Chains A and B, each alone.
Chain A
Amino acid sequence: LAKTTQPISMDSYEGQEVNITCSHNNIATNDYITWYQQFPSQGPRFIIQGYKTKVTNEVASLFIPADRKSSTLSLPRVSLSDTAVYYCLVGWGGSSASKIIFGSGTRLSIRP
Chain B
Amino acid sequence: EAGVAQSPRYKIIEKRQSVAFWCNPISGHATLYWYQQILGQGPKLLIQFQNNGVVDDSQLPKDRFSAERLKGVDSTLKIQPAKLEDSAVYLCASSTEGGNIQYFGAGTRLSVL
List residues of chain A with CB under 8 Å of any chain B CB. 32, 34, 36, 41-46, 49, 87, 91-94, 96, 99-105
Contacts and interface: CB of A to CB of B under 8 A. Distances in A.
Contacts, number: 64
Interface of B: 4, 31, 33, 35, 40-45, 48, 50, 55-56, 58, 91, 93, 95, 97-107, 109
Nearest to A49: B101
Nearest to B97: A94
Contacts of B42: 87, 102-105
Given A102-B43, A104-B41, A93 B31 contact: yes
A105 B44 CA distance: 12
A43 B45 contact: no
Given A94-B100, A96-B55, A101-B45, A43 B95 contact: no
8 contacts: A34-B100, A44-B93, A87-B42, A93-B99, A93-B102, A94-B98, A94-B99, A102-B45
A93 B97 CA distance: 9
A103 B37 CA distance: 11
A36 B95 CA distance: 14
B90 to A, nearest CB: 10
B56 A46 contact: no
Given A93-B31, A100-B45, A102-B42, A43 B101 contact: no
Contacts of B41: 104
A44 B33 CA distance: 13
A94 B99 CA distance: 7
Contact of B58 (A32, A49, A99): A99
A93 B31 CA distance: 9
A99 B102 CA distance: 14
Contact of B106 (A43, A91, A103, A105): A43
A93 B44 contact: no
A99 B48 CA distance: 10
A101 B41 CA distance: 12
